[in-house]
Amino acid sequence: MRASNIELLRIISMILIIMHHFSVHGCFPFTPDLTFNKVFLQVFGLGGKAGVVAFVMITGYFMVSSSFKLHKFAKLVGQIWFYSIAMLGVAMGLGLDTVTSRNMMLALLPIGAMSWFAQNFLVL
């Protein structure tokens, strides 16, 4: 089933999520003054939360009529694990100070605390 309007909403949701990460995790100095930049970043932050809700709801809408398949579940767990280890390798290669023994253990677990969204998606 192809629903162009829902696909457009999914694309808009992805853009909102990216803008949220840009505004929240960017290196922007926040001052107590009310400036255009501060308002702009706050709007982006709120839009991202709405984007996550819309994206998860759209996913649920498409998944409600599908049946559970163990091989798809295992494939998704494998992908999460692969990217977790790959990101750990990149962080180690760059010598980032966030690479601690605790974070290394969490990255090596197939579904660890480092992938909170993936865990919630798997439960969904």
* Mean pLDDT, rounded, for 64-90: 83
Identify the burial level of 16 via C-beta atoms within 10 angstroms of its C-beta, where 0-12 means exposed, 13-18 middle and 19 or more buried: buried
Q: Is the dihedral of CA 11, 70, 124, 19 positive or negative?
A: negative
Structure token pair of residue 32: 């107590």
Tell whether the model's pLDDT for residue 14 goes beyond 70. yes
- Contact indicator for 52, 17 with CB cutoff of 8 Å: yes
Q: What beta strand segments (E) does the chain contain? A: none
Q: How far apart are CA 104 and CA 110, in angstroms?
A: 12
Could you report the per-residue pLDDT of 37-69, keeping only the tens digit for each? 778 777 777 888 788 888 888 888 887 777 888
- Contact indicator for 122, 111 with CB cutoff of 8 Å: yes
Tell whether the model's pLDDT for residue 1 goes beyond 70. no
pLDDT value at position 113? 55
Domain ranges of the chain: 1-66, 68-124
Tell whether the model's pLDDT for residue 35 goes beyond 60. yes
Helices (H) and strands (E) counted in the chain, each on its own, are: 5, 0
Question: CA angle, 99 as apex, 96 and 104 as ends, to 5°?
Answer: 150
Query: Which residue would you say has higher pLDDT here, 84 or 120?
Result: 84
